[in-house]
Amino acid sequence: MASNWVRQGGSGKNLLTGAASPLAIAYSPTAGRFLVTTGSVVDNGAGSTTVTVSDNIDTSGANWVVQQSPASGSGARKSWIAYKRNCESGITTVNCKFSNGSTQFFAIGEVSEYTGATTLGTIVDFTDLQTGTNTAVICSGTPSQDNCLLIMSTSADDSSASGAWASNAPWTTLAEEADTGTQTAHKSAYLVQGTAALESETMSYDVGNVPHLAAMMAFRDSSNDTPIGTSASVNNNDASMASVFIMPGAGFIPLLRKSGTALQRIIEQAMGLKSNINSTKTWW
């Protein structure tokens, strides 16, 4: 079965040079999509930085989940991956915020949107956060399910010299900045995997003796969102049949909507609710 993940669009690269937080990325996704932002940040030496993400609808960022690499080197360099399931209508700006109060952040980020996310249970299959050597960083993991979306976000310190990122085919680049010595070098990319297998990806920036760091995450698609069995069938008052399917991680979902005492009782019992067969309440 093929993966259901499809990248539907993205903001392209946004770069903030020597200014206060946030990195505001203008992008208007379609409601309901799976949103991801990746990026890297370094400041001018103010200290440890925590990355948080919000948008103009979800202003507190309550529906965003952020993973960030370990900090490395001067300026607390970090890369992040943040995601939001089932995004709200009306989003026009995603704000990537950095906590330490510096007024001189150097940050690169992008937003992209996808269809095909699992609608059941947890969406994150694995997360790998790494610091690397002075020439490269490697993230790796084996998804527990087929058809995962893998995203990697990487940074390298290019404050001493400029360089270039090596190719990461067959990964597709989301944003890449190989810069000139005054900002942070960043690369992020994605890969839709078929059969689950070990993915070990090297991000290499060809300037010697510079710290690298990275984050990789794997996200589950909806191809595994299939019923695993029928738990009950009911002959109701008018002889209609109703079935209740068990979905992995989601309890049960009645497929035939109707009112009636027998079906209502089974549903209530399954949910642990008190049954009242004399009720005139219509449930569906």
Partner 1 sequence: MLIPIPRANRAPLSLSLPETAVPAGVSLATIAITRFAWPNPGEIVGTLTTEFSFDNGATWPWVDMFQVGGGVITRNGLEVTESSKSFTIPPQSGSSPRQVRGSVVTTAPLDFGGRIEIV
- C-beta closer to partner 1: residue 19 or 250: 19
Query: Which listed range, 42-50, 139-147, 215-223, 246-254, lies at the site for partner 1 (CB under 8 A)?
Result: 42-50
Q: Bridge-partner residues for 131, per DSSP? A: 213
For partner 1, the binding residue among 11, 68, 95, 130 (CB under 8 A) is 11
Using CB under 8 A as the binding rule, whether residue 190 contacts partner 1 is answered as: no
Radius of gyration of the chain (CA): 23
Using CB under 8 A as the binding rule, whether residue 8 contacts partner 1 is answered as: no
Using CB under 8 A as the binding rule, whether residue 15 contacts partner 1 is answered as: yes
Contact predicate 242/114, CB 8 Å? no
Using CB under 8 A as the binding rule, whether residue 176 contacts partner 1 is answered as: yes
**What is the H or E stretch that residue 265 is in?**
helix 261-271
- C-beta closer to partner 1: residue 45 or 90: 45
Using CB under 8 A as the binding rule, whether residue 161 contacts partner 1 is answered as: no
From residue 197, alpha-carbon distances to 90, 104, 126, 167, 205 in Å are 37, 41, 13, 21, 26
- C-beta closer to partner 1: residue 34 or 105: 105
Q: Of 63, 56, 53, 59, which is closest to residue 93 (Cα–Cα)?
A: 56
Using CB under 8 A as the binding rule, whether residue 48 contacts partner 1 is answered as: no
> E-strand spans in the chain?
6-10, 14-19, 23-26, 34-42, 51-55, 65-68, 78-84, 93-98, 105-115, 124-131, 136-141, 149-157, 172-177, 184-192, 199-204, 212-219, 229-235, 241-247, 251-254
At its nearest, how many Å lie between partner 1 and the CB of residue 105? 8
What DSSP assignment string belongs to 118-164?
--SS--EEEEEEEE--SSEEEEEE--SSSS-EEEEEEEEE-SS----
- C-beta closer to partner 1: residue 32 or 45: 45
Using CB under 8 A as the binding rule, whether residue 179 contacts partner 1 is answered as: yes
For partner 1, the binding residue among 2, 6, 18, 231 (CB under 8 A) is 18
Using CB under 8 A as the binding rule, whether residue 75 contacts partner 1 is answered as: yes
Query: Which listed range, 9-17, 145-153, 196-204, 253-261, lies at the site for partner 1 (CB under 8 A)?
Result: 9-17
Query: Which listed range, 10-18, 49-57, 142-150, 194-202, lies at the site for partner 1 (CB under 8 A)?
Result: 10-18
Interface residue list for partner 1 (CB under 8 A) = 9, 11-20, 25-26, 42, 44-45, 74-75, 103-104, 106, 159, 173, 176-180, 182-183
